[in-house]
Amino acid sequence: MLCLKRTITYDIKSPVRLVLFSDTHDGSRYFARNHFKKFLAQNMDHPNAWLLGLGDHIDAIVPADLKRFQLSTVEERFLKGEEPDAIVDAQAKDFIELMDPYRERILGLVQGNHEEALAKRYGTSTHQYICDMIGCENLGHSFLMLLAMTHATQKRVRSVTIFGHHGFGGGGRTEGGSITKYSRFTQYYDADIYITAHDHDCWTKKIARIGINAAGKIQHRDQMICNTGAFMKTLSSGRVPSWAETRGFPPRNLGGVVLDIKPENHGWVDIQVA
């Protein structure tokens, strides 16, 4: 697990916005590219917006992976390029281009199980290459981040702790299974915001938490748990089924999670779904 601190400067006129996404699976024919680009454009058009990616940013499934590779799932334009055998290189390049306009406002990228499987098979990290080319932090498979928010004109700092994990297991087929599985992280890691992915299901849940401040007064410091969903379509549009379709996964809404963090004059911060 990676532990780190990031300090950002914010404008008091607007909340700090966390734009959370995962499971784009760039390179797959089921990647909803236009939907993802629109999601980024709409939410990053904000003075205090910061990006966090939670893994499986590229599909990273190669022909040697006999269990998972299927030619019909590869985005057609990659097969018609100058080097159709270099599927992963094309995926990485494309994802880097999508992230490039926002490179100065990326808090980091988590490595998903797809990128991890590629590294284990070939002994090279495409995920690290992507992070190096974008110039952002490689957050590994899980992380704890202290996000210090500094006011642009005042000597005031508010901090939140973020726990992130790509996720695990065989995905989720029930509406509550993913929440039950990932809410257990709150028992073992001390954080204010918990972010997971992998299950291709988009949800948020706020947990009430009551504490006491230095003055001996009650303090509300709620926890927010969220799963970042996906930008990969569940179903195919023809006779050849998608992998998710053959496994019986339900259709899910495409998208990510956007949180607004408003540092308060008195007390702590207010975290809301944007």
Q: In which residue are the tokens 């490689």 written? A: 138
- Domain extents for the chain? 2-273
Report pLDDT for 70.
85
Residues 47-65: what's their mean pLDDT? 94
Report pLDDT for 171.
66
The pTM score is 0.93
Spatial distance between the Cα atoms of 220 and 208, rounded to a whole number of angstroms: 8
Spatial distance between the Cα atoms of 259 and 274, rounded to a whole number of angstroms: 5
Q: Is the pLDDT of residue 47 over 80?
A: yes
136: its two tokens: 């952002």
pLDDT per position as a tens digit, 115-171:
999 999 999 999 999 999 999 999 999 999 999 998 877 677 889 999 999 999 876
Closest CA to 96 of 131, 52, 61: 131
Q: Specify the DSSP class assigned to residue 252.
A: -
* CATH architecture for segment(s) 2-273: 4-Layer Sandwich (3.60)
Report pLDDT for 259.
98
Q: Is the pLDDT of residue 254 over 80?
A: yes
Question: Higher pLDDT residue, 49 or 211?
Answer: 49
Spatial distance between the Cα atoms of 231 and 39, rounded to a whole number of angstroms: 10
